[in-house]
Amino acid sequence: MSEDPSTGADTDEVTLGRIETEVALLMRFGEATRRRTGAEHRVLDRAAYVILRHLADAGPQNISALATRLNLDGSTVTRQVSAMQRDGLIVREPDPRDGRGMVVSPTPAGLQRMAAVQAARTRLYGDILAGWAPEDRDTLAEMLRRLNEALEHRPRP
């Protein structure tokens, strides 16, 4: 470990403190931006958007698989999925691998609303990052992917 000569602080600790602050601000600004943007961003709540994105990428999933992927309690995912089913965003069907279980799939309406939110968010980030060089945007995308992967695979206490 090296030490910052101007402060005497461990540089790794300082860097980790900066990361913590920037992630906290990112979460705060992200939520504030979502609330202040147009209606197309709000046609889905955050939980429904994330579930639909995952189902669109991974295909039908059971509640347990969704909970594991999203690092949430099964009862939380069950409540979210029930609300999404009432809103016509997903359907529950018998699991083709195990007829005793159920899997969740997006409906065409759910996929359409997810795509609208995704397009609106993509435009928003395009505007926000318009002044960035393409290679800087690529680097940001890769670093965020790596951070999310590390967060996903962090052992649960």
The single residue listed with the structure tokens 């991974």 is 58
pLDDT score for 91: 96
Query: Are residue 24 and residue 82 in the same domain, yes or no?
Result: no
Query: Are residue 49 and residue 32 in the same domain, yes or no?
Result: no
For residue 66, the tally of other CB atoms under 10 A from its CB is 23
pLDDT in tens, the chain (157 residues): 556 566 556 889 999 999 999 999 998 888 777 776 666 556 788 889 999 999 999 999 999 999 988 888 889 999 999 999 999 999 999 888 877 788 999 999 999 999 988 888 888 899 999 999 999 999 999 999 999 889 888 877 6
Query: Are residue 29 and residue 49 in the same domain, yes or no?
Result: no
The single residue listed with the structure tokens 């967060």 is 151
pLDDT score for 84: 95
Query: Are residue 58 and residue 130 in the same domain, yes or no?
Result: yes
Q: Which domain holds residue 27?
A: 1-36
Residue 157 lies in a domain: no
Query: Are residue 131 and residue 77 in the same domain, yes or no?
Result: yes
User: What CATH number is given to the structural domain containing 89?
Assistant: 1.10.10.10
Query: Are residue 6 and residue 72 in the same domain, yes or no?
Result: no
The pTM assigned to this predicted structure is: 0.79
Q: Got the DSSP string for 74-132?
A: HHHHHHHHHHHHHTTSEEEEEETTEEEEEEEEE-HHHHHHHHHHHHHHHHHHHHHTTTS
Distance CA 152, CA 131 (A): 31
Query: Are residue 32 and residue 45 in the same domain, yes or no?
Result: no
pLDDT score for 29: 85
Query: Are residue 82 and residue 51 in the same domain, yes or no?
Result: yes
Sign of CA dihedral 98, 51, 152, 142: positive
pLDDT score for 151: 86
> 25: which 2 tokens?
């601000």
Distance CA 144, CA 135 (A): 14
Query: Are residue 93 and residue 123 in the same domain, yes or no?
Result: yes
Beta carbons of 44 and 113 less than 8 angstroms apart: yes
Residue 20 lies in a domain: yes
pLDDT score for 42: 61
pLDDT score for 101: 82
